[in-house]
């Protein structure tokens, strides 16, 4: 199984062309092949995890920026409304 990253997409090559029938393998080869495949799956999952973590942090930064801008606009609106209504005049 091989991972390929194209832009923002992650594709997993799960071609079965290279899979040999179990009957043609000895038990040692069979176990070794599974261990090899599981190690590759672990590496592939690690890549996906790192990518997902980066995307999650990116979304968090965008949300934080949106919240900051909304807070500024809210404070500006409240200040303007107070001036219009005269509630700030003592």
Give the three-state DSSP class for 34. helix
**Rounded Cα distance, 78 and 88, in Å:** 11
Per-residue confidence of the chain (90 residues) as pLDDT tens digits?
A: 455 555 555 455 554 445 555 566 677 777 888 888 999 999 999 999 988 998 999 999 999 999 999 999 999 998 888 888 877 654
Among candidate residues 21, 3, 20, the one with its CA nearest the CA of residue 12: 3
Please indicate, yes or no, whether the overall pTM of this predicted structure exceeds 0.85.
Answer: no
Domain regions of the chain by residue span: 2-13+26-83
């Amino acid at each position: 199984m091989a991972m390929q990253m194209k832009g923002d997409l992650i594709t997993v090559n799960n071609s079965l062309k290279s899979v040999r029938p179990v009957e043609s393998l000895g038990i040692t080869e069979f176990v070794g092949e599974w261990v090899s495949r599981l190690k590759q799956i672990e590496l592939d999952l690690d890549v996906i995890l790192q990518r997902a973590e980066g995307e999650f942090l990116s979304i968090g930064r965008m949300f934080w920026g949106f919240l900051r801008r909304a807070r500024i606009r809210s404070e500006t609106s409240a200040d303007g409304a107070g001036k219009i209504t005269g509630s700030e005049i003592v």
